[in-house]
Structure 1
Amino acid sequence: MDGVPSVETTGAGLGVVAHLHGEMDYVSAPLFRERLGQVIARCDRFIVVELTGVSFCDSAGLNVLLGARRVAEASGVELVLACVSLPLSRILEMTGADQVLRVFDTVSDAEAALSG
């Protein structure tokens, strides 16, 4: 299932944890965009996008994350990232996206910061 794109969700108090799996590229971007939109629509306060299962992310995948953050913000929901791989962390830094997207080392860290 490594390369098959999917989004699984679990509840987290006032928020949701969205576990992304697979490659985030131009082929899978529409699926990730749609699924994250569905998660945002049913969330009250925050979404932690957990990225342990993401094996690859290109500019299309980055665009999905930035777009999801904009949609969430417009809905009054905070969207943050957790468990970002070193290659993706470098992409976030090089593009300046790390100035827009809050990143946490773990889901627990994100939940603690957002629940308080």
Structure 2
Amino acid sequence: MPEPAYSTQPAAPAAVPPRSLSIATQPDGARSVVVVRGELDLQAADELSDILRQALKSATEGIDLDMGGVTFCDCSALNVLLAIREQALADGRTVTIESHSLATERLLSLTGTLSLFTAETDDGIDHELGVEVVQLRRAMQTRPTIDLARGVLMATFGLSPQDAWHVLVMVSQNTNTKLHRLAQDLVSAVKGEPLPDSVQRQVAAAVARLSESDAPGAQGDGEA
């Protein structure tokens, strides 16, 4: 009986998925320009934090962020931005967002932090520091709840992390509910507290819209 043949060829390496995040820094006089492209999520938070801290060290006046190419941004990235801004203010420097995408604008608007990253005069640097510390603490406190709510949506409807975030944002806007309060309601519902009917309907509608947009042919095939 012939011996079974075994291949001596090495297995082909698994394909490496394309990188979804790009962060580049360059000096601009007394400031550092940081250009961010791609997805800013929990996995990218540490890299973003390290690069921003290094950029701040080499800039005597602060950092200007170009986030126009950011396609996804969650609360983990917001926490990094708030933390680096607090550090900059403590040293008499600033962190501004010169260009933002729809994803970053939506997150900053929903959390009430958009104005913190606009250009300020020197007189405005110190008097807002107490308010900013409160906002930073609030963001750090609400992040676990928001992450839990995303997990609830992912487990309940089989959503990806990004789609779960989109559902949270859509429902928050359509019910005129703060994002962290909506997240708390979703987490509480898992523990047995009833979710308001209006919120249930909006969640179902948001999930349905995502399913329709992902369905084959949803964008049309170009025929009349």
* Percent sequence identity over aligned pairs: 30
Residue equivalent to 1:47: 63
Checking the alignment, whether the CA contact within 8 Å between 1:66 and 1:101 is kept in structure 2 is: no
**Which whole-Å deviations, capped at 9, do the CAs of 1:57-78 have from their partners, x for residues lacking one?**
0111111111111111122211
Root-mean-square deviation (Å)? 1.7
Report deviation, 1:8.
1.2
- Normalized per residue, the structure richer in helix is 2
1:85 maps to 2:101: yes
d(CA) in 2 for partners of 1:29, 1:57: 10
- Report the CA distance between 1:18 and its aligned residue: 0.7
- SS of the residue corresponding to residue 42 of structure 2 reads coil
The aligned counterpart of 2:84 is 68
Give, in angstroms, the shift of residue 11 of structure 1.
Answer: 1.9
Residue 26 (structure 1) shift: 0.5
Give runs of ≥4 in structure 1 deviating > 3 Å.
none
Q: Can you give the 5+ residue segments of structure 2 that lack an aligned partner in the other structure?
A: 1-17, 120-224
Structure 1 residues 47-56 or 5-14, which shifts more?
A: 5-14
Supply the distance in 2 between the matched residues of 1:15 and 1:39 (Cα, whole angstroms): 9
- The code of the aligned residue for 1:34 comes to D
> Which residue identity lines up with residue 33 of structure 2 in the other structure?
V
| 2:27–2:33 contact (8 Å) kept in structure 1 | yes
Q: TM-score, normalised by structure 1?
A: 0.78
Q: Which has the higher contact order (CA 8 A, sep 6+)?
A: 1
1-structure distance, mates of 2:23, 2:89:
20
Once the two structures are superposed, what CA deviation does each residue of 1:41-84 show, in whole Å capped at 9, x if it has no partner?
Answer: 11101210111232210111111111111111122211100211
**Out of 106, 110, 115, which is 1:94 matched to?**
110
CA offsets 1:15-42 (integer angstroms, 9 cap, x no match): 1111112211100101101110111111
Matching residue within 14, 24, 28 for 1:8: 24
Query: Separation in 2 of the partners of 1:41 and 1:9?
Result: 12
* Higher share in strand: 1
Contact kept, 8 Å, 1:14 with 1:44, in 2: the verdict is yes
User: Which SS does the other structure have where 1:28 is aligned?
Assistant: helix
Structure 1 residue runs of 5 or longer lacking an equivalent are: 104-116
Name the SS for the 1:99 alignment partner: helix
How far is the alpha carbon of 1:2 from its aligned partner?
Answer: 5.9
- 1:6 and 1:32 in contact (8 A); partners too: no
Partner residue in 2 for 1:106: none
Count residues with an aligned counterpart. 102
Answer yes or no: is the 8 Å Cα contact 1:19–1:49 preserved in 2. yes
Please give the TM-score of this superposition, normalised by the length of structure 2: 0.42
